[in-house]
């Protein structure tokens, strides 16, 4: 069921967002953020932002600061395997050793996980069904020795038939997430894990209602179709309760003299979400595909934070800055003054 068109690597282009550069950035530098949802690109263009095209790339190799960190994927297959590893490590404990209510712990916390994986077109039922199948069809997950019953909640009924044809499994059920009907609540009662596939911003209330109806059993959200910056306006913190366990976003920054590729990456391999940081990696100056970590964040970095890191990096490595540094060092050597 895997397909070479699942991920956009090298040959095809996406519409990207062009946010206004921060005041500290060089006036002629621009950063282009890859945007993987076709609908969001169209939505953003309606807001009178200019759009351009950029490419998601597959780096040849990468280096990260410690052995415990994970490297960005080199292919769609590796990205799928990384996401599966993260998901499996995070689901094993809540499925097999769930916490029990106690006088000290009156309200149990529901395990909520989030994955963000770039695909060609998450408006397409076939593309989204293929992504779900690639992640879950052979995921070695069980609940106390028995098969885990999965419930997929899709954006609308048009996604259900392609999903049913993809999986063909009695232990996997599919239903539209909106509206929250009696049949949906019944399906939730018999499932072990609920997976929300590419929910829309307009479906947030339904996602919340369905999650709460699922009690303390784990829920997973994959490729929500809204911008991270929009989440500040969502209010009650429900979306923030989903722990991001896998995220891979390509970047490209263009300066006056050069162009560099980069990645925002997070991968939780050991099931300990709090111990994994967000990494910003940028292609080495030689342009051989090698990535290096240029910054790390405890929480997801905003566009402005990433822009500032990359702008400073571009300015530091630009010919003009290097020339200025060389002249400064030369003057220091001659005069003895710093």
pLDDT of residue 1 exceeding 60, the answer is no
pLDDT of residue 41: 34
Query: So what's the pLDDT on residue 70?
Result: 66
286 versus 155: which is more confidently predicted? Answer: 155
Query: Measured between alpha carbons, how far is 65 from 71 in angstroms, rounded to an integer?
Result: 10
CB 6 within 8 A of CB 120: yes
Flag whether 329 is in a domain: no
The total domain count for the chain is: 1
pLDDT given at position 337: 55
pLDDT of 209 reads 96
Helix (H) or strand (E) holding 82: helix 76-96
Q: Is residue 59 part of a domain?
A: yes
Work out whether strand 290-297 and strand 150-154 pair parallel, antiparallel, or are unpaired. unpaired
Instruction: Let me know if residue 190 belongs to a domain.
Output: yes
Instruction: Measure the CA–CA gap between 57 and 222, rounded to whole angstroms.
Output: 21
Domain, as residue range, for 128: 14-95+108-321
Q: How many CA atoms lie within 13 A of 112 on its CB side?
A: 19
Residue 83 lies in a domain: yes
Q: Is residue 29 domain-resident?
A: yes
What's the confidence (pLDDT) of residue 126?
A: 92
Would residue 242 count as lying in a domain? yes
- Residues, the chain: 338
Confidence bin at 184 (pLDDT 50/70/90): very high
Percent of the residues in the chain that have a pLDDT greater than 70, as a whole number: 68
User: Which of 79, 62, 63 is CA-nearest to residue 9?
Assistant: 79
Q: Which residue has the higher pLDDT, 26 or 197?
A: 197
Q: Is the pLDDT of residue 47 over 50?
A: no
pTM summary value: 0.75
**127: pLDDT confidence band, cut at 50, 70 and 90?**
very high
> Looking at the predicted structure, is the pLDDT value of residue 4 above 60?
no
Encoded tokens for 98: 């769930």
Picking from 167, 100, 131, the residue whose alpha carbon sits closest to that of residue 37 is: 131
pLDDT tens-digit series, residues 11-43 = 222 233 333 344 444 434 344 433 333 333 333
List pLDDT tens digits, range 231-285.
888 877 899 999 999 998 888 777 666 777 888 999 998 888 887 999 999 888 7
The Cα–Cα gap between 61 and 287 comes to 11
- The answer to whether residue 9 is domain-embedded is no
Residue 299 domain-assigned? yes
Which of the residue ranges 89-93, 236-240, 318-322 has the most confident prediction, judged by mean pLDDT? Answer: 89-93
């Amino acid at each position: 069921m895997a397909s070479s068109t699942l991920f956009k690597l090298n040959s095809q282009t996406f519409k990207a967002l062009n946010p206004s550069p921060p005041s500290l950035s060089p006036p002629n530098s621009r950063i282009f953020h890859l945007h993987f949802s076709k609908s969001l690109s169209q939505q953003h263009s309606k807001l009178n932002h200019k759009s351009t095209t950029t490419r998601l790339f597959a780096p040849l190799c990468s280096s990260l600061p410690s052995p415990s960190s994970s490297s960005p994927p080199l292919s769609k297959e590796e990205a799928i395997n990384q996401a599966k590893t993260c998901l499996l490590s995070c689901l094993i404990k809540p499925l097999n050793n769930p916490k029990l209510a106690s006088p000290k712990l009156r309200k149990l916390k529901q395990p909520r996980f989030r994955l963000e994986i770039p695909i060609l077109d998450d408006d397409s039922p076939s593309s989204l069904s293929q992504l779900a199948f690639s992640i879950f069809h052979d995921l070695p997950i069980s609940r106390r020795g028995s098969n885990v019953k999965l419930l997929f909640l899709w954006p609308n009924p048009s996604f259900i038939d392609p999903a049913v044809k993809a999986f063909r499994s009695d232990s996997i059920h599919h239903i539209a997430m909106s509206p929250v009907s009696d049949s949906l609540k019944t399906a939730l009662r018999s499932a072990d894990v609920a997976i929300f596939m590419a929910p829309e911003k307009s479906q947030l209330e339904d996602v919340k209602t369905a999650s709460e109806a699922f009690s303390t059993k784990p829920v997973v959200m994959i490729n929500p179709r809204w911008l991270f910056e929009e989440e500040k306006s969502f209010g009650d913190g429900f979306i923030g309760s989903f722990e991001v366990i896998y995220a891979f976003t390509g970047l490209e920054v263009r300066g006056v003299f050069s162009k560099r590729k980069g990645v925002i990456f997070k991968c939780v391999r050991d099931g300990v979400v709090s111990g994994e940081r967000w990494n910003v990696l940028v292609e080495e100056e030689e342009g051989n595909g090698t990535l290096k970590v240029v910054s790390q964040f405890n929480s997801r970095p905003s566009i402005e934070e990433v822009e500032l890191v990359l702008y400073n990096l571009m300015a530091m490595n630009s010919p003009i800055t290097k020339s200025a540094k060389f002249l400064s060092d030369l003057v220091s050597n001659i005069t003895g003054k710093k």
